[in-house]
Structure formats: structure tokens, C-alpha cells
Amino acid sequence: MAEVRKLKILCLHGYRQDAESFRSKLGSLRKSTKSLAEYVFVTAPLLVNDNERERGWWFSRSDRSFDAQEQSDVSIGLESALELVSNTVEKEGPFDGILGFSQGASFVALVLQLGNKIWGDFDQIRFRFAILFSGFESRNSKHAFGGKIDLPALHVIGKTDKVIPLEQASAFNELFSDVQISEHEGGHFIPSSGNSKRDVIEFMKKFSETA
């Protein structure tokens, strides 16, 4: 029987996290999918409060901080974050999927919306799917790129999330033309068990069969 090729997934952490901490947060999922997927973790380029272990994909305030709830016309560092993703894909790709949590999930949407505008021939690095946890649409006026994201996506939402409320997370779904939604009873975290974890695994398996 032929060996099934593992999916390769690019993973983008949340605000005030880094690759190492996010790898730990995904520990349960990684363990459950070790024969299914390989995960590549990237640390965002922007330091939060000059702390090497706390990073961000962009700042929405002139004091180099970020608030997911605020309307803003300040966008600091997005270009360097996009360049980092581009370089990672060039050096370590191709990737089957892209996965993000919180600000990382929001950044995934920006990467997918910009597509050809960033890399020219986006087909060369096109992802096949996206997995998003506690995502939200950027409220930055400079990020209003418009248009639906034409990529199969799974969005996992915590019903009691106090950081990204259910209404805000649900609005994020409107950015995608093909999105599956999985809700769990918890808050702002990646579920390590239950239906949502199973939904993630089953979603990944759909792409493994055609890898």
C-alpha cells in the first residue's frame, strides 16, 4: 500500500505569542495528526514591548500596540510580516495549508486577500486550504481589500470567547466563499479535545486523500 504524503501546514501564532509557544498550544492536535500532517511554525517579526517572546503581525496603534476591537487607520509592520511569509514559503514550501490563531488567523485572511498583489504569480505558492481559530476581520481602514477569499476554510470559534466575541468571530466568516464553522463551548484557545478537534482532523483528511 502506497504511503500517503503528509500535508504541510504553515502555522501563524496569535498576538503576544511566538512560534515556540504556539507549537505548544497545538500540541494535542499535532500528536493526533502526526501521521497526517507536518507543521511549520513561524515567529512574527514585530516585538511587543521589546519582548523577544511576545510578537505580533502588525500594530494598529502608533504606540506599537494592537487592539482587535478598535477601528484604526494605523498599520505598522504588515509589510515585514508579509515578506516573512513570502520568504518562508519560498524556502520551505510548497505548503498545502495555512493555519492561524487570533491575530494570526486575521493575518491569514490578509495574506490570502492580497495574493497576487504581493507575490505576482500567486499560483506558484497557492495554499489548498486554511484552518482558523478565533479569527476576526481586521478593522484597519488600510486592510479593506474587499472580495471573497476563494479557498476552502475551517473556522473554529469559542462560544464564550471574551477576547474575540462570538459576533465578531462570526462576521469573519463572511470573508470566505467556502467556510465550514465549528463552535465549541470554550473561550479564546485551541480546543485539545471534543467535536471541534475532530472537525479539524476530518477537515484535514479531505485534503490528505488528494495529496
Task: Say if residue 12's pLDDT is above 70.
Answer: yes
What is the C-alpha to C-alpha distance for residues 52 and 86, in angstroms, rounded to an integer?
A: 22
What is the C-alpha to C-alpha distance for residues 132 and 116, in angstroms, rounded to an integer?
A: 21
What is the CATH architecture assignment of 7-208? Answer: 3-Layer(aba) Sandwich (3.40)
* Catalytic, out of 18, 96, 161, 199: 161
Q: Do the strands 97-101 and 129-133 form a parallel or antiparallel pair, or are they unpaired?
A: parallel
Q: Does residue 39 contact residue 124 with C-beta atoms inside 8 Å?
A: no
> Pick from 42, 31, 41, 5: which is nearest to 201 by CA?
31
Cell 464564550 appears where? 160
Predicted TM-score (pTM) of the model is 0.92
pLDDT-derived band at 114 (thresholds 50, 70, 90) equals confident
In this prediction, residues 11-30 reach a mean pLDDT of 97
* Torsion 65-70-75-77 (CA) sign: positive
Q: Do the strands 51-56 and 46-48 form a parallel or antiparallel pair, or are they unpaired?
A: antiparallel
Instruction: Give pLDDT, residue 4.
Output: 73
What is the C-alpha to C-alpha distance for residues 124 and 179, in angstroms, rounded to an integer?
A: 23
Instruction: Give pLDDT, residue 141.
Output: 84
* Catalytic, out of 102, 106, 138, 196: 102
Instruction: Give pLDDT, residue 142.
Output: 82
Please name the amino acid found at residue 63: D
- Residues in Cβ contact with 191 at an 8 Å cutoff, skipping those fewer than 6 apart: 156, 158, 184, 197
* Domain boundaries defined on the chain: 7-208
* Catalytic, out of 32, 170, 188, 192: 188
Please name the amino acid found at residue 68: A
Q: Among this protein's residues, is 13 annotated catalytic? A: no
The total of other beta-carbon atoms located within 10 Å of residue 200's CB is 22
Q: Among this protein's residues, is 96 annotated catalytic? A: no
Q: Among this protein's residues, is 188 annotated catalytic? A: yes
In this prediction, residues 67-82 reach a mean pLDDT of 92
Q: Does residue 100 contact residue 108 with C-beta atoms inside 8 Å?
A: yes
> Pick from 169, 195, 171: which is nearest to 184 by CA?
195
pLDDT-derived band at 22 (thresholds 50, 70, 90) equals very high
Q: Average the pLDDT over each of 49-58, 178-187, 202-211 and give the range with the smallest value.
A: 202-211
Backbone angles phi, psi at 4, to 5 degrees: -80, 130
